[in-house]
């Protein structure tokens, strides 16, 4: 194999190049988000759970629904919630009508943590895509939506 090959020559197809580019980009963005939230004692997945629960309001959500709404699907939602509960960021309440269902709610301490993270995460959002002008950002959003819809 010649050493003067271009990187795109190492891919089986343009489709493979696009998919691997998406995966590498997603991983880089996850690592970058971790640098923002981990100094506050939580992981990006735990941050995602807290955001979901803040959006659910006072009623909270069942564990399975939280898992369905997560950015990164994980079989360990219960363990994530266990850790958040031990930190006092989430509270669980059994459903009075069905004891197998458990509702999770964000605590005032969890809301305070999210309030503390709102500005740094908003800045991170902007910085993460700052190299794209608005029209390209709109195109990226549309293209990513289309790729997700096909999967």
**Domains of the chain, CATH where assigned:** 15-149 (1.10.10.10)
Evaluate if residue 7 carries a pLDDT over 90.
Answer: no
pTM of the model: 0.86
Q: What is the pLDDT of residues 44-86, one digit of tens each?
A: 999 999 999 999 998 899 988 999 999 888 778 999 999 999 9
Q: Band of the pLDDT at 39, cuts 50, 70, 90?
A: very high
The C-alpha atoms of residue 53 and residue 136 are separated, in whole angstroms, by: 31
Angle at 22 between CA 84 and CA 43, to 5 degrees: 15
């Amino acid at each position: 194999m010649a050493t003067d090959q271009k990187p795109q020559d190492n891919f089986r197809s343009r489709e493979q190049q696009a998919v691997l580019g998406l995966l590498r980009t997603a991983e880089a963005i996850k690592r970058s988000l971790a640098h923002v939230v981990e100094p506050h004692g939580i992981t990006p997945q735990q941050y995602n759970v807290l955001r979901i629960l803040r959006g659910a309001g006072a009623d909270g959500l069942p564990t399975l629904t939280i898992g369905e709404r997560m950015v990164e699907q994980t079989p360990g939602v219960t363990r994530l919630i266990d850790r958040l509960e031990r930190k006092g960021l989430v509270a669980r309440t059994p459903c009075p009508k069905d004891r197998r269902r458990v509702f999770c709610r964000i605590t005032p301490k969890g809301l305070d943590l999210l309030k503390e993270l709102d500005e740094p995460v908003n800045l991170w959002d902007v910085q993460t895509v700052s190299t794209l002008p608005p029209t390209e950002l709109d195109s990226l959003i549309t293209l990513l939506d289309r790729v997700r819809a096909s999967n």
